[in-house]
Structure 1
Amino acid sequence: MGDARDGFLTARRLIDLAEAVRATPEIPRAELAELLAGHGERPDDLTEETFTETSAAELRAAARRMAAVLGESDEGRAAEALNALFAEYGSRPRLTRHDGHPWHLQVDRGEEAGWGEWFLASGALALAHLLTEYGRIAWGACAATGCGRFFLTTGPGSTRRYCSGSCATRARVAAHRRRRREGEGVGRG
């Protein structure tokens, strides 16, 4: 991971995969392969022979596990969760350049790592990079009622609570209406 942008791109892949699995828990292998290809994985690595149904099942399970980290808003607990992933799935960091990709840092177990292990190790590295780069959690689950979508935030200011402006507006309007209703009920008897 040469710079914050690399970490952000890997974290974006993490978020997109976690969201896809949350939306469709048994998302088909072909759809996972398409999503991975959209994030720069080589088509040769995503054929039915190289990215099997077993690989897809590993990746779905890993995405569910990462969803717990993505939903964590406490920095200390997030760091503990990331350290636990490094302990379980990581190896010594190594620089690698393969398949036309530029130099990048990897912490998975190399060729021995399955898709799930690769996803957990690379996702933990990306989130750890963002945590150290920004000094705070740069991801979250939307606080809007009925949403909960994961998002990344690297802008200045306080930590975001909503995935989009529409969710933030909907939440503000709902809170305003609730306060108004509560205010109307005061004094009536």
Structure 2
Amino acid sequence: MADPRGGFSAARRLIDLAEAVRAEPELPRTALAELLAGHGERPADLTEQAFPEAGAAELRAAARRMAGVLRETDEDRAADALNALLEECATRPRLTRHDGHPWHLHVDRGEEAGWGDWFLASGALALAQLLTEYGRIAWGACAAEGCGRFFLATGPGSVRRYCSTTCAGRSRVAAHRRRKHEA
């Protein structure tokens, strides 16, 4: 999907894919391919031959792994986790422009990277860029009871704890009722 500032957003792709796998842990290969296509991946790269079930399994596992980083609230631990992923899955950064996207960095190992390593490397780079740009964790998992949806928090204001105003309001009302009941 497009970044509000224009162009492609690897962070948005990461959030959407991790959220889809969180909501449906065994999300079918076809649904994963559709999600990736919605984020600008080439249809030729998403055929059953190019993106087989084994690739989908790698991608689901990588999304579950990235979910741990998305749930992290401590900046130092998040940075350590991102550095570990970059060390494990990334290679020297390179500028690239393809498929109508503007110039951007790639740190994956190219054609030699499996779907999981590709997603971990690009996702770790996207989150590292957000951490350096905002000077804080600019993502999260909703703190509302029973929600847990992943979100980006790149807007102005204080650190977000909720995925939406609906979850924030529901949590405030529940806390108010608890305090009232305890009093």
Band the TM-score falls in, shorter-chain normalisation: over 0.9
Distance in 2, Cα, partners of 1:113 & 1:21: 21
What is the aligned residue count?
181
Amino acid at match of 1:116: G
Tell me how large the CA RMSD over aligned residues is: 1.7
Match of 1:93 in 2: 93
Q: Which runs of 5+ in 2 are unaligned?
A: none
Match of 1:26 in 2: 26
Give the conservation status (yes or no) of the 8 Å contact 1:107–1:121.
Answer: yes
Greater Cα offset, 101-110 or 70-79: 101-110
Q: 1:98 to 1:7 in 2, by over 3 A?
A: closer
Q: Quote the offset at 1:100 in angstroms.
A: 3.3
Question: Normalising to structure 2: TM-score of the pair?
Answer: 0.94
Q: 1:72 to 1:6 in 2, by over 3 A?
A: farther
Q: Any idea what SS the aligned residue of 1:92 has? A: coil
Match of 1:186 in 2: none
Q: Check if 1:126 corresponds to 2:126.
A: yes
Q: Quote the offset at 1:81 in angstroms.
A: 0.2
Q: Any idea what SS the aligned residue of 2:140 has? A: strand
Amino acid at match of 1:131: L
Deviation sequence 1:14-53 (CA, Å, 0-9, x none) = 0111111111111110000000001111111100010111
The higher radius of gyration belongs to 1
Distance in 2, Cα, partners of 1:114 & 1:51: 10
Match of 1:84 in 2: 84
Match of 1:111 in 2: 111
- Identity over the aligned pairs, expressed in percent? 80
Q: 1:40 to 1:7 in 2, by over 3 A?
A: closer
Q: Check if 1:174 corresponds to 2:179.
A: no
Q: Which runs of 5+ in 1 are unaligned?
A: 184-189
Give the conservation status (yes or no) of the 8 Å contact 1:62–1:120.
Answer: yes
Amino acid at match of 2:66: M
Match of 1:48 in 2: 48
Amino acid at match of 1:143: A
Q: Quote the offset at 1:154 in angstroms.
A: 1.1
